[in-house]
Structure 1
């Protein structure tokens, strides 16, 4: 039953993407993932503003100033989410992860000012070449180990996520990439995906820190709670569409 639910979700997401729907499951996931994941990292846009950018291509002003980087992160996240759906059945690879980063950061004025490169692992100065090689090797080792299996349990996803977050291969945007990978791999493994809520940031970060020290239980429990939240929200949307 759960597998059928997930397959229906995937179908609705792909149909929504193809039709460029501005409501329903696809639009909700686009808006919610962009809002929550960016907010965890300090983005100041409200959910209403994120929704307006997605549905109308414009931003709703309020009494606070609006930062250019917040808009760039939001639109970049929309593009990355679409790329995730297009590559849903692809195995995790360095090229795939770099493509997600390119989608997310390609238009970032921050990257231009800092001299960093969208879609490339962290390398700021030539004297850091050896450190860049270490990052690449660590990512190779992580991905090769992960890809020894075709589908993954929640424990496997938690282990991969913790290890990826410890490497932090890019100069910026690492955690957004990590969280979109969680959604992708849940769907590919026919598990209920989840969106990590900014309101749960402290719990998430604490559990992630423990997972990086081989204590995976709290991160797995946290993921399970967010899965329950996700399933509840999706069921509400599906019931309205019926």
Structure 2
């Protein structure tokens, strides 16, 4: 199957189903998959089944009577649903700093803990932060670094998966927000793929250790080959799971 045909039809179905709020097809699958995996990577306690129920009905049941849920997990899951919809509303538009901040605002504006901690919501971080062994940008460095990254990216005429991988690695290294960088970065990744008619990359929690290894290699050694190979593996998984929702069976 031609990748261009697949992504063109995918974009059409996503927009149609989003407008109709049809959650039974590729829109619902992609929403649930992004929300569950991206939040789970960051430590969410909600299961895939609970995520689906929250998206479909606004409620969910515990798997056992001993289950305890953090309010933040539910707030961030609902925020992720909003961020996905925000991304779809701006599909096809050039990536901008304000659009990126808008993603973060959608994700975080309903999270009480972040509000109580005084975190900047929908704006660049005001305090230093760190992730693993990476030295992230200082708060005062963020505006210039993000501006340079976005400006360089939008100048590209024919965006490739290599360009997207490089952007993703650099964005996560800058770490421009106080919290939520991974989830916003992965949502940008999805938008970039859809805008460029590239098969989406959805990072699955099951493969997060491989993702981290590949990302670390890209950031510290400027070797993007493993990250691109990893992205391509996730692309194949996505196609296998959604192509039947987009194209009629030939049987």
Q: TM-score, normalised on structure 1?
A: 0.94
- Tell me, yes or no, if structure 1 residue 163 matches structure 2 residue 170: yes
Please list the CA deviations of residues 90-120 of structure 1 after superposition, one character each: whole Å capped at 9, or x if unmatched: 1111101000000000101121121012101
Report which of the two has the higher share of helix.
1
Matched, 1:233 2:241: yes
Equivalences for residues 1-242 of structure 1 within 5 A: 1-63=2-64, 64-124=67-127, 131-212=138-219, 213-238=221-246
Distance 1:203 1:22 in 2: 30
Q: Whole-Å Cα distance in 2 between the matches of residues 11 and 240 of structure 1? A: 15
- Conserved in 2, the CA contact under 8 Å of 1:115 and 1:124? no
Q: Is the 8 A contact 1:89 1:188 kept in 2?
A: yes
Q: Give the aligned CA root-mean-square deviation in angstroms.
A: 1.7
Moved more, 131-140 or 159-168: 131-140
Unaligned runs of 5+ in 1: none
TM-score, normalised to structure 2's length?
A: 0.91
Contact 2:39/2:183 (8 A) holds in 1: yes
Q: Call closer, same or farther: CA 1:204–1:131 in 2, change over 3 Å.
A: closer
Q: Cα gap change, 1:151/1:86 in structure 2, threshold over 3 Å: closer, same or farther?
A: farther
How many aligned residue pairs are there? 238
Moved segments of 4+, more than 2 Å: 130-133, 236-242
8 Å contact kept, 2:13–2:246:
no
Q: Residues 46 and 221 (structure 1 numbering): CA distance in 2 closer, same or farther, change over 3 Å?
A: same
SS of structure 2 residue aligned to 1:107: coil
User: 1:53–1:59: 8 Å Cα contact kept in structure 2?
Assistant: yes
Q: Is the 8 A contact 1:162 1:211 kept in 2?
A: yes
Deviation at 1:124, TM superposition (A): 4.0
Equivalent residues of 1:151, 1:188 under 8 A apart: no
CA distance, structure 2, for counterparts of residue 240 and residue 179 of structure 1: 29
Q: Which residue of 1 aligns with 2:134?
A: none
